[in-house]
Amino acid sequence: MVCLGNICRSPLAEGILKDKLDPNRFQVASAGTGGWHVGNPPDPRSIDIAQKQGLDISQQRAQQFIPAFFDQYDLIYAMDQSNYSDLKALAKSPDQLKKLYLLLEAIFPGEGVDVPDPYYGGVSGFAEVYNLIDRACEVIARDINQKFD
Ligand code: 4NP
Protein backbone atom coordinates (compact mmCIF):
# COMPACT_ATOMS: atom_id res chain seq x y z
CA MET A 1 0.00 0.00 0.00
CA VAL A 2 1.70 3.18 -1.16
CA CYS A 3 0.92 6.89 -0.80
CA LEU A 4 3.09 10.00 -0.68
CA GLY A 5 4.05 10.42 2.98
CA ASN A 6 3.12 6.99 4.42
CA ILE A 7 1.49 8.71 7.39
CA CYS A 8 -2.15 9.31 6.32
CA ARG A 9 -3.60 7.04 3.62
CA SER A 10 -1.34 4.01 3.21
CA PRO A 11 -1.08 3.26 6.96
CA LEU A 12 -4.89 3.05 6.96
CA ALA A 13 -4.78 0.83 3.89
CA GLU A 14 -2.19 -1.42 5.53
CA GLY A 15 -4.25 -1.76 8.71
CA ILE A 16 -7.53 -2.28 6.88
CA LEU A 17 -6.29 -4.92 4.41
CA LYS A 18 -4.32 -6.74 7.11
CA ASP A 19 -7.52 -7.01 9.13
CA LYS A 20 -9.31 -8.68 6.21
CA LEU A 21 -6.62 -11.32 5.45
CA ASP A 22 -5.18 -14.31 7.30
CA PRO A 23 -1.91 -13.03 8.87
CA ASN A 24 -0.42 -16.52 8.60
CA ARG A 25 -0.77 -16.47 4.83
CA PHE A 26 -0.37 -12.87 3.69
CA GLN A 27 2.04 -10.07 4.44
CA VAL A 28 0.72 -6.51 4.13
CA ALA A 29 2.95 -3.44 4.37
CA SER A 30 2.89 0.24 3.43
CA ALA A 31 5.38 2.83 2.24
CA GLY A 32 5.57 6.37 0.89
CA THR A 33 7.04 7.51 -2.39
CA GLY A 34 8.50 10.41 -0.37
CA GLY A 35 10.89 10.08 2.55
CA TRP A 36 10.03 13.12 4.73
CA HIS A 37 8.26 11.15 7.44
CA VAL A 38 10.45 8.02 7.60
CA GLY A 39 10.38 6.52 11.11
CA ASN A 40 7.31 8.48 12.17
CA PRO A 41 4.02 6.98 13.40
CA PRO A 42 0.86 7.57 11.34
CA ASP A 43 -0.83 10.99 11.49
CA PRO A 44 -2.93 11.20 14.70
CA ARG A 45 -6.04 11.71 12.58
CA SER A 46 -5.44 8.37 10.83
CA ILE A 47 -4.75 6.65 14.16
CA ASP A 48 -8.03 8.10 15.54
CA ILE A 49 -10.27 7.11 12.64
CA ALA A 50 -8.79 3.59 12.65
CA GLN A 51 -9.27 3.35 16.41
CA LYS A 52 -12.95 4.25 15.98
CA GLN A 53 -13.27 1.23 13.68
CA GLY A 54 -11.43 -1.03 16.10
CA LEU A 55 -8.06 -1.02 14.32
CA ASP A 56 -4.81 -0.13 16.06
CA ILE A 57 -2.33 1.30 13.53
CA SER A 58 -0.35 3.29 16.10
CA GLN A 59 2.66 0.94 16.03
CA GLN A 60 3.30 1.44 12.32
CA ARG A 61 6.35 3.49 11.29
CA ALA A 62 6.74 5.24 7.97
CA GLN A 63 9.17 3.91 5.39
CA GLN A 64 10.05 5.05 1.88
CA PHE A 65 9.25 2.80 -1.05
CA ILE A 66 12.35 1.13 -2.51
CA PRO A 67 12.49 -0.63 -5.91
CA ALA A 68 13.25 -3.99 -4.18
CA PHE A 69 9.61 -3.99 -2.97
CA PHE A 70 8.63 -4.82 -6.56
CA ASP A 71 10.35 -8.19 -6.02
CA GLN A 72 9.32 -8.68 -2.39
CA TYR A 73 5.57 -8.17 -2.90
CA ASP A 74 3.06 -9.68 -5.33
CA LEU A 75 0.69 -6.72 -5.45
CA ILE A 76 1.38 -3.01 -5.08
CA TYR A 77 -1.46 -0.53 -4.67
CA ALA A 78 -1.01 3.20 -5.25
CA MET A 79 -3.42 5.53 -3.45
CA ASP A 80 -3.49 8.11 -6.25
CA GLN A 81 -2.39 8.64 -9.82
CA SER A 82 0.63 10.67 -8.80
CA ASN A 83 1.89 7.84 -6.59
CA TYR A 84 1.08 5.44 -9.44
CA SER A 85 3.24 7.42 -11.90
CA ASP A 86 6.12 7.63 -9.43
CA LEU A 87 5.97 3.87 -8.84
CA LYS A 88 5.66 3.13 -12.53
CA ALA A 89 8.92 5.00 -13.09
CA LEU A 90 10.64 2.72 -10.54
CA ALA A 91 9.48 -0.54 -12.15
CA LYS A 92 12.31 -2.26 -14.00
CA SER A 93 10.41 -4.85 -16.04
CA PRO A 94 6.97 -5.61 -17.46
CA ASP A 95 6.58 -8.28 -14.75
CA GLN A 96 7.12 -5.66 -12.04
CA LEU A 97 4.75 -3.24 -13.73
CA LYS A 98 2.04 -5.93 -13.80
CA LYS A 99 2.03 -5.93 -9.99
CA LEU A 100 1.07 -2.24 -9.82
CA TYR A 101 -2.55 -1.08 -9.40
CA LEU A 102 -4.43 2.07 -8.51
CA LEU A 103 -6.27 1.12 -5.29
CA LEU A 104 -9.71 2.46 -6.19
CA GLU A 105 -9.79 0.57 -9.49
CA ALA A 106 -11.13 -2.21 -7.24
CA ILE A 107 -14.40 -0.30 -6.80
CA PHE A 108 -14.36 2.19 -9.70
CA PRO A 109 -12.87 0.15 -12.56
CA GLY A 110 -11.46 2.19 -15.42
CA GLU A 111 -12.28 5.52 -13.79
CA GLY A 112 -8.84 6.48 -12.46
CA VAL A 113 -10.23 7.66 -9.11
CA ASP A 114 -7.74 8.85 -6.45
CA VAL A 115 -7.91 8.39 -2.70
CA PRO A 116 -7.81 12.13 -1.91
CA ASP A 117 -4.82 13.34 0.09
CA PRO A 118 -6.34 14.32 3.46
CA TYR A 119 -3.14 15.81 4.93
CA TYR A 120 -4.04 19.50 4.63
CA GLY A 121 -7.78 19.07 5.21
CA GLY A 122 -9.99 18.49 8.22
CA VAL A 123 -10.93 15.40 10.15
CA SER A 124 -13.91 14.65 7.87
CA GLY A 125 -11.45 13.99 5.05
CA PHE A 126 -10.03 11.09 7.03
CA ALA A 127 -13.48 9.52 7.45
CA GLU A 128 -14.02 9.72 3.69
CA VAL A 129 -10.59 8.26 3.03
CA TYR A 130 -11.22 5.44 5.50
CA ASN A 131 -14.50 4.60 3.81
CA LEU A 132 -13.04 4.51 0.29
CA ILE A 133 -10.06 2.39 1.34
CA ASP A 134 -12.26 0.01 3.31
CA ARG A 135 -14.57 -0.58 0.33
CA ALA A 136 -11.65 -1.19 -2.01
CA CYS A 137 -9.90 -3.51 0.45
CA GLU A 138 -13.07 -5.56 0.87
CA VAL A 139 -13.01 -6.34 -2.87
CA ILE A 140 -9.23 -6.85 -2.93
CA ALA A 141 -9.30 -9.23 0.04
CA ARG A 142 -12.04 -11.27 -1.60
CA ASP A 143 -10.04 -11.47 -4.83
CA ILE A 144 -6.83 -12.40 -3.02
CA ASN A 145 -8.55 -15.12 -1.00
CA GLN A 146 -10.05 -16.56 -4.20
CA LYS A 147 -6.83 -16.34 -6.18
CA PHE A 148 -4.71 -18.01 -3.49
CA ASP A 149 -7.40 -20.45 -2.33
P1 4NP B 1 -0.19 10.63 2.78
O2 4NP B 1 -0.44 12.17 3.13
O3 4NP B 1 0.52 10.60 1.44
O4 4NP B 1 -1.55 10.07 2.71
O5 4NP B 1 0.64 10.05 3.91
C6 4NP B 1 0.60 13.10 3.15
C7 4NP B 1 1.39 13.23 4.26
C8 4NP B 1 2.41 14.15 4.29
C9 4NP B 1 2.64 14.95 3.19
C10 4NP B 1 1.85 14.81 2.06
C11 4NP B 1 0.84 13.89 2.04
N12 4NP B 1 3.67 15.92 3.23
O13 4NP B 1 3.78 16.69 2.27
O14 4NP B 1 4.43 15.98 4.20
Query: What is the CA(36)–ligand 1 centre distance, in A?
Result: 9
- Whole-number percent of the chain with pLDDT over 70: 100
Q: Is the CB of 119 under 6 A from ligand 1?
A: yes
**What was the pLDDT predicted at 122?**
87
Is 56 among the catalytic positions?
Answer: no
Catalogue the long-range contacts made by 24-29 (C-beta closer than 8 Å, 24 or more residues apart): 25/148, 26/144, 26/148, 27/73, 28/1, 29/1, 29/69, 29/73
Q: Is the CB of 8 under 6 A from ligand 1?
A: yes
Strands laid side by side in the 2-3 sheet: 31-32, 2-3, 76-78, 100-102
Confidence label for 62 from pLDDT (cuts 50, 70 and 90)? very high
Torsion 22-24-26-31 (CA) sign: positive
**What was the pLDDT predicted at 149?**
77
- Whole-number percent of the chain with pLDDT over 90: 96
Q: Point out the catalytic residue in the list 8, 9, 43, 45.
A: 9
From the alpha carbon of 115, which atom of ligand 1 is closest?
4
**What was the pLDDT predicted at 148?**
81
